[in-house]
Copies of this chain bind each other. A is one copy, B any other.
Amino acid sequence: MDKINVAVLGATGLVGQKMVEILSKHPWFRISYLGASESKRGLRYMETVKWRFSEYLPDEIVDMRLGGTRPDEIPGNIDIVFSALPSSVAAEVEIELARLGFIIVSNASPLRLERDIPLINPEVNPHHLKLAKLQEARGWKGRILKNPNCTAAILTLSLAPLREYGIKEVIVTTMQAISGAGLRGVPGYEIVDNIIPFIESEEDKIIDETRKILGETTSNGYRPAETIVSATATRVPVLDGHLESVHVRLGKPVDIDDVTSSMEKFVSKPQKLGLPTAPPQPVIVNRYPDRPQPRLDRNAGNGMSVVVGRLEKPRLFDKEWLKYLVLGHNLIRGAAGIAVLVAELYVKEEGLV
């Protein structure tokens, strides 16, 4: 099979680097274009990037010259554009790319809640992909697909197996890794021996994206789930891996063994379609009392699984309540990996592979 040509815009940031790393050895996709900010135009990728991951990239990526991020300079042979652009410019560039006919898979937050833009956590709401068709009414041939905010991606994957019980209320406190803010987002002087209990806009993203992802599609958009969500987001001195402490009230009394089983058995379309980046077991339940831990569990399922631990019923609360911790790799399950999985789902569903 011929590989599908893809571009990565914002290729030098942490999420962009992770996209490049995953795509550089992808069975379906070939990186044909790397776009970054103007000041880097023409430079070799490896000279420019502060590479922070696995030591070796293929030579053709190491030596690839960076282009810009203007829609009109993306070569016509590109089929999919991965966007790790900063929020400030993402919407404009992505819309223009859609006008030019590109398929965009974007990790950027703008447009995520738009009526006709699928916000996809592939195991949780693959059927939302059909919202993309509504974009034709915008008069463009391209498609914009979004993956969720990292914290919402991890949370909703852990919630997906609980839908069978009904999900009424979710109260979550997050302990988010430094890499979630990008390479320079969290100064060392702020975070060593400290916690910063605030992440700009994060809590609203968790609330609204969770409700969209768990919601239903309608003929002309989507209806958010009725689940009420409250979130408190904090930044902790951890490099990678977001940990979330979850309390959830379900629609009926639950038994811990049943919930555990629901989580462990949970598979969905990406597993059934055999998508290359889909983890065999999306939700792993770790029974040790002191897990999940970011450093030990963030790479589970190559960083694409979430790990749940301490599934318990809060003893004084009604029988519908459940509490647990869930951990996921924010750069992989929460950003670069999930974007690639969204793209895989799309090309498979569209019959392009």
Binding site for B on A (CB under 8 A): 14, 52, 55, 169, 171, 173, 175, 178-179, 182-198, 207, 228-230, 232, 234, 236-239, 243, 245, 247, 289-296, 299-300, 309-310, 314-317, 321, 323, 325
Contacts and interface: CB of A to CB of B under 8 A. Distances in A.
A236 B237 contact: yes
Contacts of A314: 171, 230
7 contacts: A173-B173, A175-B234, A188-B192, A193-B193, A194-B293, A230-B317, A230-B321
A315 B173 contact: no
Contacts of A243: 195, 197, 234
A309 B197 contact: yes
A186 B325 CA distance: 20
Given A197-B291, A230-B315, 8 more contacts: A52-B189, A178-B188, A178-B189, A183-B189, A188-B190, A194-B295, A198-B291, A232-B245
> Which of A238, A245, A291 counts the most chain B CB atoms within 10 A?
A245
B323 A230 contact: yes
Given A173-B245, A178-B192, A189-B52, A237 B237 contact: yes
| Number of copies of this chain that the complex holds | 4
A189 B186 contact: yes
Contacts of A229: 316
A52 B293 CA distance: 11
Contact of A193 (B230, B238, B321): B238
Nearest to A50: B190
B232 A197 contact: no
Given A198-B289, A316-B230, A323-B232, A295 B193 contact: yes
A228 B175 contact: no
Contact of A184 (B187, B230, B325): B187
Contacts of A187: 183-188
